[in-house]
């Protein structure tokens, strides 16, 4: 994996993470259509969260545009594109807070099943370990989101615990599956 970074210490403005098939970089205002599509597609969000209303979605997007600084409890939100075609794949990143990075990712429906989730997550973790010495990672997956669980397992995460009926989507309660990456 090749990682190209051109940024001042502790500020990740010009991150470019490149894998054999993907390019990842911080989200910008121009990627609003991608962000909007990911958060409105029932196939993407059905086991992640309820569809946000327009104001909630705009607020969420604005939060992702804040420049990421290590150890500031901010989300690093990276867009994912195919290297060859430039086609959008989705978004990935993590919330860096209190010594543990909580990872997350959303992929466009047409990009599911191609291994892009695993490839992008591995690259982001490797980058964070190399550049910022982030060692601890976790993920919270809603019960039934088998695709996300497979991505985490392929990246070395283990199921640490299950929090029964911890999250509600569409009026239904689901267990939270808490995964951690052993150090």
Instruction: Report residue 169 as tokens.
Output: 């989507």
Residue 180 three-state SS = strand
Instruction: Report residue 123 as tokens.
Output: 């690259």
List per-residue pLDDT tens for the chain, 183 residues long.
Answer: 444 443 444 444 579 999 999 999 999 999 999 999 999 999 999 999 999 999 999 999 999 999 998 888 999 999 999 999 999 999 999 998 877 999 999 999 999 999 999 999 999 999 999 999 999 999 999 999 999 999 999 999 999 999 999 999 999 999 999 999 987
| Phi, psi of 44, rounded to the nearest 5 degrees | -85, -45
Q: What is the rounded CA–CA span in Å between residue 51 and residue 93? A: 20
Q: What is the rounded CA–CA span in Å between residue 24 and residue 59? A: 22
Residue 169 three-state SS = strand
Residue 48 three-state SS = coil
Q: What is the pLDDT of residue 71?
A: 85
Beta-strand pair 100-107/136-142: parallel
Instruction: Report residue 85 as tokens.
Output: 């075609």
Strand blocks (E) in 43-112: 74-82, 88-97, 100-107
Q: What is the pLDDT of residue 9?
A: 43
Q: List, in sequence order, every residue forming a beta bridge with 136; answer none if it has no partner.
A: 100
The pTM score is 0.91
Instruction: Report residue 105 as tokens.
Output: 């990712």
């Amino acid at each position: 994996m090749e990682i190209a970074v051109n940024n001042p210490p502790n500020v990740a403005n010009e991150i470019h993470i490149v894998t054999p098939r993907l390019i990842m970089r911080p989200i910008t205002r121009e990627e609003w259509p991608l962000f909007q599509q990911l958060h409105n597609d029932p196939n993407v969000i059905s086991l992640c969260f309820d569809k946000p209303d327009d104001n909630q979605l705009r607020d969420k997007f604005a939060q992702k545009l804040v420049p990421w600084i290590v150890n500031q409890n901010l989300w690093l939100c990276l867009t994912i594109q195919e290297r060859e075609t430039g086609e959008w794949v989705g978004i990935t990143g993590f919330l860096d807070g209190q010594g543990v990075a909580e990872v997350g990712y959303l992929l466009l429906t047409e990009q599911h099943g191609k291994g892009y989730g695993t490839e992008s997550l591995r690259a982001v973790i490797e980058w964070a370990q190399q550049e910022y010495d982030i060692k601890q990672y976790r993920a919270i997956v809603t019960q039934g989101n088998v695709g996300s669980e497979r991505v985490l397992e392929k990246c070395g995460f283990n199921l640490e615990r299950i929090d029964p009926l911890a999250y509600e989507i569409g009026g239904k309660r689901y267990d939270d599956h808490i995964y951690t990456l052993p150090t």
